Structure 1
Amino acid sequence: MKKLGSSSKVTKKAIFVKLQIMRLGEKTYKKKQEANRMFAAIGDFTLFFWQTLKEAFSLDFEFNEFLRQCFQIGYKTVPLISVTGMIMGAVLTIQSRPVLADFGAVSLLPGMVAASIIREMGPVITALICAGKIGSGIGAELGSMKVSEQIDAMEVSSTHPIRFLVVTRVLAATLMIPVLVMYADALGILGSWAAINIKGSVSFVLFFHQAFRVIDFMDFFPAVIKTFFFGAAIGLVGCYKGYTAAQGTESVGKAANSAVVIASLLVIIIDLIAVQITDMLL
């Protein structure tokens, strides 16, 4: 009986070990598959970026479509950016005023708000708003065209889809987002002036004199340069996710959702790199 009991324990232990090894093997296989998919996606995106860059310098540039996309991306986003810019400046002023008042430095508030908006808050917040609106719009639009086989029909009819659909949208986003950022910066400073006059009385001329007294060219230049990279990242990610969407209507929503998430993450990463480079150079 003792031998039978000990042999059954050994058998159970061996089965348990085998099950653990099988589970470990399954987990390892799944991780390997995920890693393969990730590297494949990176390779596909790199190839997509190279094709877009090559077609951007093509002689047959779709200028009319480019202007239409500038209108869609730029002008159609102005109302949202207007509200965002005004609220951004007003909130920053309202939150900062009590702290500066404790130190008797309320006169420094316009310069602090202007520097914060121009250097960091204006570009990043505006880019994140654009990633949500523009990135999702491009991803959903191209995704629906992919699902309905319109992109395949363009290839059959000798219309280059990368040149017509992708290049125009990426260039439009690259050029329009810096314009929207500067517009949001101006409205943010204007909103700060309005917020200051809620509990005080500061003239328009005095406020802007105090605001731009601490701002120089090297505050403005790096902030504008990185917005071009924000726009390119948002346009590229939105186009890639929509252009490579799978078949089925469900993939359109997934393309729009993933475009927003990845574009927002890229905006934060690009901003971190830009801040480090600016800190080393200045």
Structure 2
Amino acid sequence: MKVLDKIGAYILFMGRIFTKPEKKKVYLKELTNELEKLGLNSVMLVMIISFFIGAVLTLQTAYNMSSPLLPRYLIGYLTRETLLLEFSSTIVSLILAGKIGSNIASEIGSMKITEQIEALEVMGVNSVSYLVGPKIAAALVVNPVLYIFSVFIGIIGGILSGLASGVVNYDDYIHGLHFAFNPYYVTYSIVKTLFFAVIFTSIPAFYGYNVQGGALEVGKASTKAVVDSSIAILLVNLILTKILL
């Protein structure tokens, strides 16, 4: 499938998602299930990664501030800015694109090759809205929450690593966290997480929905979905940064 044809097919696919669901109760039930699958099942992964990244950021910042003229509170400041602006929004979304995206592509792709999707269409159900809509809705709720959670855990990791290694004391680190804080950075990053949520759910769903063949093709579709989702996230990140900052 050529790039332009693929983009056109994706736009049509997205148009089918945002239609009024036939049965709201069933839709809400699926939404609840997806909130658990996308949210609760990702909390531990985000917590572990954010903790260690926050710790590493603090140590790297400290070791690169060898000049005695630089105040130590800048360690906390730079760690906070990195987590707020880029890591906890973009990098966490890239990680979720790998974890969640591959699962979505495999799940929908398996339904496609076993003709479960065709069965839904025969029953008069908008299969795209039914299967993909709740996933996107859940991701729009979950991703901003995971972003805030990631920032919080990353800061804790930074404080603990800074105190344990002795590169910064508690008061300086906390002062750095409060220094020159711009609330707009949080708004900017939350807006990004909303766009990223749509990307890492809809693109894998698109690949899974259009699988043709057997189990091998499902695996290939999952790989393509993760790669294309990651590229799209980086591209949208660049565009939004240019527009919003």
Specify which of 172, 176, 201 is matched with residue 138 of structure 2: 172
Contact preservation (8 Å) 2:72, 2:172: no
Q: Please tell me whether residue 222 in structure 1 is matched to residue 188 in structure 2.
A: yes
Compare relative contact order (CA 8 Å, sep 6+) and give the higher one, 1 or 2: 2
Normalising by structure 1, we get a TM-score of 0.81
CA distance in 2: counterparts of 1:230 and 1:221, whole angstroms = 14
Q: Please tell me whether residue 238 in structure 1 is matched to residue 204 in structure 2.
A: yes
CA distance in 2: counterparts of 1:218 and 1:104, whole angstroms = 26
Equivalent residue runs for 1:105-184 within 5 Å: 105-184=71-150
1:51 corresponding residue in structure 2 = 16
Cα deviation, residue 170, structure 1: 1.4
SS of 1:158 mapped into structure 2:
coil
How large is the RMSD of aligned CA atoms in angstroms?
1.6
Specify which of 11, 14, 23 is matched with residue 60 of structure 1: 23
CA distance in 2: counterparts of 1:163 and 1:122, whole angstroms = 29
- Residue-by-residue CA offset, 1:37-81 (whole Å, 9 max, x unaligned): 22221111110011112x2x4463301101100110000011110
- Percent identity for Structure 1 against Structure 2: 28
Q: Please tell me whether residue 82 in structure 1 is matched to residue 59 in structure 2.
A: no
Larger radius of gyration: 1
Paired residue type of 1:180? L
CA distance in 2: counterparts of 1:38 and 1:217, whole angstroms = 39
Paired residue type of 2:42? T
Give structure 1 regions of 4+ aligned residues with deviation exceeding 4 angstroms: none
1:42 corresponding residue in structure 2 = 7
Contact preservation (8 Å) 1:130, 1:177: no
CA distance in 2: counterparts of 1:107 and 1:157, whole angstroms = 63
Greater fraction helix: 1
Contact preservation (8 Å) 1:174, 1:235: no
Normalising by structure 2, we get a TM-score of 0.93
1:69 corresponding residue in structure 2 = 34
2:163 corresponding residue in structure 1 = 197
> How many pairs align?
241
CA distance in 2: counterparts of 1:231 and 1:95, whole angstroms = 30
Contact preservation (8 Å) 1:115, 1:214: no
- Residue-by-residue CA offset, 1:1-32 (whole Å, 9 max, x unaligned): xxxxxxxxxxxxxxxxxxxxxxxxxxxxxxxx
SS of 1:40 mapped into structure 2:
helix
SS of 1:130 mapped into structure 2:
helix
CA distance in 2: counterparts of 1:278 and 1:159, whole angstroms = 39
Stretches of structure 2 lacking an aligned partner (at least 5 in a row): none
CA distance in 2: counterparts of 1:272 and 1:65, whole angstroms = 33
